[in-house]
Amino acid sequence: MRPLTAQELLQVWEQGCDQSPTQQALTLLAAAIPEASRDELAALPIGQRDGQLLTLREWIFGSQIESVAQCPECDETLELNFHIDDIRADLALAPQTTGQLEQAGYQVRYRLPNSEDLAAVGSDDEVVAQALLLSRCLLEVAPPEGQAAELPNDVATAVMAAMAAQDPQADVELNLTCPTCEHQWLSGFDIVTFFWHELTVWARRLLWEVHRLAQAYGWSESEIVALSPRRRQFYLEMVDL
């Protein structure tokens, strides 16, 4: 994986504007890992994909994460500030892509979900989405004698818990406490959505800078984007004098 230039980032942003979050994640990685095909990237377990995105985000925007959360009890807005390493799983412990477990007499082999699975599920109903995702990831089910192959709820829950434990980067949760009402809760953090929002803010600001400097100096977009942020800022200050 390699860092992306400002011009490459603009191209990625433009390409992904009308894509789903899953496709946006793959578009980012395809640009940063040109030696891998999009199909290969789509087959990565979600945790491995998101771990790569964390690294890419760190290279582009730095290691600090600044975000907000809303307290579900009193609606207080919390300002969040933490380091990428606070939510990054051990990169040396890449998860096995498959696993197995025995529960209530059922022997189950499964694989970890990937981007293809997320794209195929496409349901806003969380219960339905989880059921569809699990069905795609089951490799083999050996039920107890006389029982149906369909997994009972407790066994399905155990399999999903095993998947989550095997690939912790796939489901990052922040342990939050409201300073106003002291309510505590877990809040999910989705690097894909967060990263893409940052990229959109950055791209729109850069294009505004291009507009201002092109008007003032007649430079092309590529010439302006090739400038360092410090030099662009200097010229913008000169324009506004």
Give the pLDDT confidence of 3-14 residue by residue, as tens digits: 999 999 999 999
Pairing of strands 172-177, 138-142: unpaired
Give the pLDDT confidence of 43-81 residue by residue, as tens digits: 999 999 999 999 999 999 999 999 999 999 999 999 999
Higher per-residue pLDDT: 98 or 146:
98
Cα-trace Rg, the chain: 22
pLDDT tops 60 at residue 224:
yes
DSSP state of 227: S
pLDDT tops 70 at residue 94:
no
Predicted confidence band of residue 91 (pLDDT cuts 50, 70, 90):
low
Give the pLDDT confidence of 148-203 residue by residue, as tens digits: 889 999 999 999 999 999 999 999 999 999 999 999 999 999 999 999 999 999 99
* Least confident interval from 42-56, 80-94, 103-117, 126-140: 80-94
Global pTM?
A: 0.91
Whole-number Å distance between alpha carbons of 43 and 197: 24
Provide the pLDDT for residue 125.
82
Domain ranges of the chain: 6-89+174-236, 98-166
Provide the pLDDT for residue 154.
95
Closest CA to 12 of 2, 27, 34, 29: 27
Return all residues near 179 (Cβ < 8 A) that are at least 6 apart: 76, 78
Closest CA to 224 of 2, 1, 6: 6
pLDDT tops 60 at residue 92:
no
| Amino acid of residue 22 | T
**Mean pLDDT across the stretch 25-48?**
96
SS3 225: helix
DSSP symbols for 111-142: E--BHHHHHHH--S-HHHHHHHHHHHHEEEEE
Return all residues near 18 (Cβ < 8 A) that are at least 6 apart: none
Closest CA to 102 of 155, 152, 151, 140: 155
